[in-house]
Amino acid sequence: MKNVLYVGNHLKNSQSNIGYSAVLGPLLEQSGYAVRYTSRKTNKVLRLLEMLWTTFSTRKKTDIVLIDTYSTQNFYYAVLVSRLCKILKLPYVPILHGGNLPHRLKHSPKLSKQLFEHASVSVSPSLYLKERFEAFGFRNVVYIPNVITLENYAYSPKTFDFPKLLWVRSFSKIYNPTLAIEILHELRKRGSKANLTMVGPDADGSLAEVKAFADALDVEVTFTGKLAKSEWIALSKNYNVFINTTNYDNTPVSVIEAMALGLPVVSTNVGGMPNLINNGVDGILVPPDDKVAMADAICALFENPSHAAALAVNARLKVEQFDWGKVRGLWDEVLRIKQ
């Protein structure tokens, strides 16, 4: 049995969606790995200290360390934990999250080199990030897609009477939630009966701004706050389009989940999205921050419902490759690596 330490934001609070450790970790446990997690601390300083202490104190019981790695402040957590792993001679694997990591590679080259060059491998959930890392000279990157347990996502055929839009993400400026409000407003101006529900916690204070913006445009939007995964999956049956409005992205689990559930996806064409969605085949891609293009794409689905249904079927077929039964072997290969 291999002992894995998973370092990431293993938080459980109203301000954040569950981290990837809460998805991948239990699947590794089911597959026979012993997994420890750090950290659940909400305070950022205490979180970092616990990450470092757990890495040090469990060093003799740890075979390999997984480190969730983001482009924002959490990038520094990954750098510091990786340095400690190097000192302790512990093999570590950064798991790359966030479509804006190439910006970090460009603007923090020394720290990026320290973090990624000494890793056993880095795991990229998108070919986009793998290619961008290779362009910066990092060759030890392997592609393993974000994983879902497909049996948890019942495919639900949709009725395309009028747009019932679903948005699922944290309320954060990087995800451009105000665009969802603009899209609804644009559809209403065109005489559509469209409605919108936005699901997710408030990550950076954006929720209040989005609510105020909806009020200013006089459009009614349902805000559910953070929901458990099972809750928003059940809610999704009432909707017929999933919109992804972000300005930067990788291959978000929420979009993969929407594809599994039978929701046609209309997304901004950023980051790793073209690697996830084949435009016009299993989803629709439009330029970022363009309410007219997004509204046009949504209207086109309802003018041709058979095409909308075909997109949903194709999307479900595509994401079957992300089921744990097919992805597990790739993780087994990574976790067998020793420095």
Q: What is the pLDDT of residues 280-293, one digit of tens each?
A: 999 999 999 999 99
The pLDDT value recorded for residue 65 is 97
Binned at pLDDT 50, 70 and 90, residue 15 comes out as low
Query: How many Cα atoms are found within 13 Å in the side-chain-facing hemisphere of 272?
Result: 28
CB within 8 Å of 155: residues ≥ 6 apart? 260, 261, 262, 316
User: Coil, strand, or helix at residue 37?
Assistant: strand
- The pair of structure tokens assigned to 251 is 């291959």
Indicate the pLDDT class of residue 165, thresholds 50, 70 and 90: very high
Which tokens hold the place of 135? 């362009």
pLDDT, residue 338, reads 52
> For 124-146, what is each residue's pLDDT tens digit?
998 989 999 999 999 999 999 99
In this chain, the answer to whether the domains covering 3-147+323-335 and 150-321 adopt an identical fold is yes
Reading the block at residue 267, the tokens are: 């997304």
Q: For 162-213, give the DSSP string.
A: S-EEEEES-B-GGG-THHHHHHHHHHHHTT---EEEEE--BSSSHHHHHHHH
Which whole number is the average pLDDT over 53-79? 94
CATH tag, 3-147+323-335? 3.40.50.2000
Give CA–CA dist 253/148, Å, rounded.
Answer: 8
Please indicate, yes or no, whether the overall pTM of this predicted structure exceeds 0.85: yes
Q: What is the 3-state secondary structure (H, E, C) of 211-231?
A: HHHHHHHCCCCEEEECCCHHH
Judged by average pLDDT, the poorest of 47-51, 94-98, 263-267 is 94-98
Two structure tokens written together for 139 = 């060759």
Q: Quick one: pLDDT band at residue 336, thresholds 50, 70, 90? A: confident
CATH 1.10.1500.10 fits 150-321, yes or no: no
Q: Where are the domains of the chain?
A: 3-147+323-335, 150-321
Q: Cα angle vertex 257, ends 313, 20, to 5°?
A: 150
Tokens of 330: 């790739």
